[in-house]
Amino acid sequence: MAEQAYTVVSDSETTGEEKTSSAFPEIAIGIDIGTSQCSVAVWNGSQVELVRNTRNRKLMRSYVTFKDEVPAGGVSDELAHEYDMLSGAAIFNMKRLIGRVDTDPVVHASKSLPFLVETLNIGVRPFIAALVNNMWRSTTPEEVLAIFLVELRAMAEVKLKRPVRNAVLTVPVSFSRFQLTRIERACAMAGLHVLRLMPEPTAVALLYAQQQQQSGHENMGSGSEKIALIFNMGAGYCDVAITATAGGVSQIKALAGSTVGGEDLLQNLMHHLLPNMDDLFSSHGIEEIKRMGLLRVATQDAIHLLSFNMSVPIDVDLGNGTKLSKVLTRAEFEEVNKEVFEKCEALIKRCLQAAKLEAEDVHDVIIVGGCSYIPKVRNIVMSICKREELYSGMNPLEAAVRGAALEGAVASGISDPFGNLDLLTIQATPLSIGIQADGSDFVPVIHQNTTTPVRKELIFTTVHDNQAEALILVYEGDEKAAEDNHLLGYFKIRGIPPAPKGIPEISVCMDIDASNVLRVFAGVMVRGTQRAPMPFMEVRMPTVDDGHGWSAQALHKMYGSTLDLVTVKKIQH
């Protein structure tokens, strides 16, 4: 699409849409970057296949080790992970840290990781470093992810015997658009062009749509739709989606997501086992790193075992006279993590409510992700959805990447003679997008769970007589106060004709296209055929570069309420 004179394209580094004119479209690969594990899958011409690494593994640990000069990811070398973790050289959990600032509680909770996460609590990105030769070598989540993606890409190229450029990646539902740009940046660094960033449960929904299509219980377009609730809980995030499926079309009815996952279970249990853990580890010396690593590995193993046993013995020598020796029961584990499970419950309920559905309306309940093996998690999902059994047709650890590969094939324009790719996902917005207005309120223009692509418009007006300019502050989220949401960007519109307050009509229109690109249009509306005094602004969001609230504070300090807007109240009809 041709760019207009007033377009502000924000992120110059996001790879531009290249017009590939080759006769055979490249099939985009699907990548699932998990907080703890990742995988690659691709449509092989007749079905989705997971790409295996040189050790014949389909799932690889998501971590990068910094040693001497060359950092290496876990794609080829996963066995070293546990050891590297004890040395401080391995960086992982990047999906939890990417695009977050050092005031974020999730970043603070990451301080117990066996490498350096330093926060200054001023709203900038945290300092992250790996211990290499007794020196902290700084890095960023984007860099770690990029190193890892380079390895995944190389692995795929070797296996597929062709260059790999395009990819569909799965992302957590709760990711802000700013976080999505960080994922895109990491991909660009790795030479990958992002075709789609797909919320994880919607990838699962697409796989479900294909399975329904293949099982032949329905005729194409018969309209007899099946409702599925998808619960996805991995190490870093928990997502819920509700989809209505018929004829290979998966329509996302509602999404809900939160930064709660296996990592929280792990940390809560670590604190339970070693209550003064934070004090013991605060200095981040070589010995502390090693102890943190040992405790982490022991706790992780215990959680895995508790999925199949009612109790598990823990014996770990943390050195320096600290020795843990006890029997941990499943009940204890569940009690320690009560809040985490309550959050999961709340998410499912919220999603059902947003979809305007009762548990009884749901045909299939699908549970995927690393935490899907935890009995308590399964019980919660089954009890809220009021059923005895869960959908069994999917591998919980592969569902998301398989869905991403299907989307990759569909979005690459591939068709299948047997109709196995006659699929479509109709996506919905996971978070509301709006502007600050009516004082410091967040006024959504596009609401949460709106089907995309979409274009919506709201009319605002001035708060001062003869106000000539207005500031448009675009936020994403669902909090009432604007500043509690993610700031995506801001710009000024000018040339409002002199008029008493409340008279000028300022239109703010937001457009999300099928690739999930958000554009905000704003300007002064003029009635009749008279030309607008100033051109409209079209701004591609997000424009803020570091996702922090500083700019909003600076703007407020500079302009106060002089450039504010209020919504035009609904006119009754």
Using CB under 8 A, list all residues that contact another protein. Answer: 1, 4, 221-225, 246-249, 410-411, 413, 422, 424-426, 438, 443-444, 447, 450-451, 453-459, 505, 507, 509, 513-515, 521, 523, 525, 529, 532, 536, 538, 567-571, 573
166-171 and 29-33 as β-strands: parallel, antiparallel, unpaired?
parallel
Q: Give whole-number Cα distances, 155 to 24, 64, 148, 314, 340, in Å.
A: 22, 15, 11, 37, 36
Q: Read out DSSP for 434-457?
A: EEEETTTEEEEEE-TT-BSSEEEE
Q: Collapsing DSSP states into helix, strand and coil, what is residue 471? A: strand
Pair 139, 91: CB distance under 8 Å: yes
Quick one: 161 or 573, whose CB is closer to another protein? 573
Nearer to another protein, 414 or 555 (CB): 414
At 209, give phi and psi (nearest 5°).
-60, -40
Q: Which residues make beta-bridge pairs with 382?
A: none
Shortest separation between residue 279's beta carbon and another protein, angstroms: 48
> Smallest distance, Å, CB 126 to another protein?
36
Residue nearer to another protein on the CB measure, 329 or 567 = 567
**Alpha carbons 405 and 145: distance in angstroms, whole number:** 20
- 90/524 with CB nearer another protein: 524
Q: Which is nearer to another protein, 11 or 505 (CB)?
A: 505
> What SS3 class is residue 290?
helix
- Nearest CB to another protein, comparing residues 313 and 502: 502
Report the C-alpha gap between 98 and 34 in whole angstroms: 12
Nearer to another protein, 128 or 506 (CB): 506
User: What minimum distance in Å lies between the beta carbon of 559 and another protein?
Assistant: 22
CB 531 within 8 A of CB 570: no
Residue 85, H or E segment = helix 81-87
Query: Per DSSP, what are the bridge partners of residue 387?
Result: none
Minimum Å gap between C-beta 436 and another protein is 12
Shortest spacing between CB 535 and another protein, in angstroms: 9
Bridge partners, residue 490, by sequence: 473
Helix (H, G, I), strand (E, B) or coil at 302: helix
Tell me the closest approach of the beta carbon of residue 214 to another protein, in angstroms.
17
In contact, 217 and 205? CB cutoff 8 Å: no
Give me the least distance between CB of 459 and another protein, in Å please. Answer: 4
For the bound state, the minimum distance from the C-beta of residue 2 to another protein, rounded and expressed in Å, comes to 10
**Token match 């697409």: residue?**
206
Distance between CA atoms of residues 572 and 459, nearest Å? 15
Q: Output the smallest distance, CB 458 to another protein, in A.
A: 6
Query: Phi-psi category of 479—alpha, beta or left, where left has phi over 0 and alpha has psi -120 to 50?
Result: beta
Task: Report the residue number, 1 or 70, with the smaller CB distance to another protein.
Answer: 1
Question: Which of 38, 30, 32 is CA-nearest to residue 405?
Answer: 30
Q: Of 484 and 513, which has the nearer Cβ to another protein?
A: 513
